[in-house]
Amino acid sequence: MTPAQSQLVETVQQRFGPKVATTEAEAIAPWLTDWRGRYHGEAPALLSPGSTNEVAAIVALAAAAGVPLVPQGGNTGMVGGATPPTDGSALLLSLRRMNRIRALSPVSNLAVAEAGVILADLRTAAEVAGRRFPLDLGARGSATIGGLVSTNAGGTQVLRFGTMRSLVAGVEAVLPDGSIHNGVAALKKDNRGYDLNQLLIGAEGTLGIVTAATLRLVPGAAARAVGWVGLESPAAALQLLRMLEAGTSAVESFEILPEKTLALVLRHVPGTRRPLATAHPWHVLIEAVATDPTAEAPAALLERLLGPALERELAGDAVIAASEAQAEDFWRIRHSISEAERAGGPALQHDISVPVDDMPRFMIEGGAEAEARFPGTEAVAYGHLGDGNVHFHVRAPAGVDPQVWYAEDGPGISRHVHDMVVAAGGSISAEHGIGQMKRAELERLSAPSRMTVLRAIKTALDPHNILNPGKLVALAPDAARP
């Protein structure tokens, strides 16, 4: 620990009590590695403020002492964005103690949640009030609101309600100079200059530390229906989605997967079973939700809309879950893909998006191109077709040593996938962010003028590089430290 770091820890303990700063290795250890175990860093202390004012005081002290801070919520990120640097130069700043839902109004359909509120808890609180917070993802039991705002999280409910950005009505954050940005008032219209709330959403804690957010709630679900459709191709799936969208706004999820992924799940995840008796090269899981109890029941709606698709042979076969238990079984397949993929052997994962209309082509041609270019690999794409966002995995050839393959072939394969994405006008990070994982690729694939702008924004707001240094965008080496 440097003298500046020691001094900071001591001052924090004196002012706010011993539990707000700890240097105990055991307490710190769980937070030094990302949950996938791909990134590991060092930090001599863990700061755990309990209020916005405490965060502000800590950031002001850190700025004055030139000690960088790495903000962290549930530590469920996918790109190493919350893992401290390896040299121990930064302190960890956990927002987990700030876990109050300050307000939740079913009348104004807004909730104000502190950064450390866990997604599942917010969803439950909304349900108790007869509303929903319509963002969902696998890490719901650990992921926190602050992290979800800071990474503009996506998930399986984006189709109808958008990503985190469209659900955030206000942001409270501590800026790099220790001042508090109070943007939680949730004004529906506010044109007072550059929108700092929007700038902080998705900034990965590099421009400010999100301490609370005002979040939009949507009507509670009166009824839902979950369907499973077998079909010929991603192109047919997108046509089906467009047909559904023309007839209803009730479709909240539309997830695509190829037969080989379904087969992998059935093989590796006990208790899963094939939803349809017939064989199909592609599958789609559809969820429709009615929020108005007087509206057509979602099951009847899906049946009415899927009928013509079956007649026109856009869909090969379809089934609508007859019970909640069966609906859960269908979702279980979708949610088990990661687990099955891990059991299936080494694979490189890419979180990519292209314009929705181009995604069917990309899934087929991109997959074929990757497999041809890297003999023995198998490319698999599945996920949020309606968002133009799939998880594009490239599996290792049979028999390779995983570590050797990751190290020697991995970077070239990922670069190739990203090149294809950029050629299609897409994004190399659809929903996971940049963190440390994709920083070099962002640099390689962005116009230099764009990188100049990103760096200029970072330098303008955080001139001493105090907040989450080295994430998202690297400053020039000589500008990296005060």
Decide whether 121 or 462 has the Cβ nearer to a second copy: 462
Q: Applying CB under 8 A, which part among 13-21, 131-139, 364-372, 423-431 lies near a second copy?
A: 423-431
Decide whether 5 or 163 has the Cβ nearer to a second copy: 163
Identify residues 382-421 at the interface with a second copy (CB under 8 A). Answer: 384, 387-389
**Residue 27 sits in the site that holds a second copy (CB under 8 A):** no
Decide whether 185 or 407 has the Cβ nearer to a second copy: 185
Minimum distance, C-beta of residue 373 to a second copy, in the bound complex (Å):
24
3-class SS at 271?
Answer: coil
Identify residues 426-445 at the interface with a second copy (CB under 8 A). Answer: 426-434, 442
**Residue 343 sits in the site that holds a second copy (CB under 8 A):** no
Contacting a second copy (CB under 8 A), which of 4, 64, 101, 356?
356
**Residue 447 sits in the site that holds a second copy (CB under 8 A):** yes
Identify residues 452-471 at the interface with a second copy (CB under 8 A). Answer: 452-454, 456-461
**Residue 273 sits in the site that holds a second copy (CB under 8 A):** no
**Residue 92 sits in the site that holds a second copy (CB under 8 A):** no
DSSP per-residue string spanning 290-343: E-STTSPPHHHHHHHHHHHHHHTTSSSEEEE-SSHHHHHHHHHHHHTHHHHHHH
3-class SS at 32?
Answer: coil
Beta bridge pairs of residue 394? 348, 379
Minimum distance, C-beta of residue 448 to a second copy, in the bound complex (Å):
8
Q: Say how far apart CA 128 and CA 405 lie, in whole Å.
A: 49
Identify residues 61-80 at the interface with a second copy (CB under 8 A). Answer: none
Binding mask 282-301 for a second copy (x = CB under 8 A): ---------xx---------
List all residues 6 or more positions away from 257 whose beta carbon is below 8 Å from its beta carbon: 282, 283, 284, 285, 333, 334, 337, 382, 383
Q: Say how far apart CA 126 and CA 402 lie, in whole Å.
A: 44
Minimum distance, C-beta of residue 118 to a second copy, in the bound complex (Å):
21
**Residue 193 sits in the site that holds a second copy (CB under 8 A):** yes
Contacting a second copy (CB under 8 A), which of 158, 226, 236, 420?
158
Candidates 469, 389, 456; CA nearest to 429 is: 389
Minimum distance, C-beta of residue 465 to a second copy, in the bound complex (Å):
14
Decide whether 68 or 154 has the Cβ nearer to a second copy: 154
Candidates 449, 451, 431; CA nearest to 441 is: 451
Contacting a second copy (CB under 8 A), which of 179, 259, 313, 372?
179
**Residue 247 sits in the site that holds a second copy (CB under 8 A):** yes
DSSP state, residue 362: I
Q: Applying CB under 8 A, which part among 39-47, 136-144, 200-208, 398-406 lies near a second copy?
A: 200-208
C-beta of residue 119 within 8 angstroms of C-beta of residue 71: no
Residue 3's H or E segment, with its range, is: helix 3-16
Give, in order, the Cα–Cα distances in Å from 261 to each of 78, 271, 283, 380, 458.
Answer: 21, 16, 10, 7, 41
Q: Applying CB under 8 A, which part among 27-35, 186-194, 337-345, 362-370 lies near a second copy?
A: 186-194
The strand pair at 91-94 and 69-72 is best described as parallel
- Backbone CA torsion sign across 472, 138, 147, 185: positive
H helical segments located in 129-233: 145-150, 158-161, 164-167, 196-200
C-beta of residue 46 within 8 angstroms of C-beta of residue 54: no
Decide whether 99 or 349 has the Cβ nearer to a second copy: 349
Number of Cβ within a 10 Å radius of residue 222: 14
Q: Say how far apart CA 189 and CA 103 lie, in whole Å.
A: 21
**Token pair recorded at residue 415:** 């670069």
Minimum distance, C-beta of residue 4 to a second copy, in the bound complex (Å):
24
**Residue 175 sits in the site that holds a second copy (CB under 8 A):** yes
Q: Say how far apart CA 142 and CA 121 lie, in whole Å.
A: 10
C-beta of residue 259 within 8 angstroms of C-beta of residue 283: yes
* Residues near a second copy (CB under 8 A), total: 73
Number of Cβ within a 10 Å radius of residue 71: 28
Decide whether 195 or 365 has the Cβ nearer to a second copy: 195
Contacting a second copy (CB under 8 A), which of 52, 163, 414, 468?
163
Q: Applying CB under 8 A, which part among 43-51, 136-144, 308-316, 351-359 lies near a second copy?
A: 351-359
Decide whether 216 or 280 has the Cβ nearer to a second copy: 216
Candidates 68, 79, 73; CA nearest to 44 is: 68
Contacting a second copy (CB under 8 A), which of 242, 267, 312, 342?
242
**Residue 105 sits in the site that holds a second copy (CB under 8 A):** yes
**Residue 177 sits in the site that holds a second copy (CB under 8 A):** yes
Binding mask 106-135 for a second copy (x = CB under 8 A): -xx---------------------------
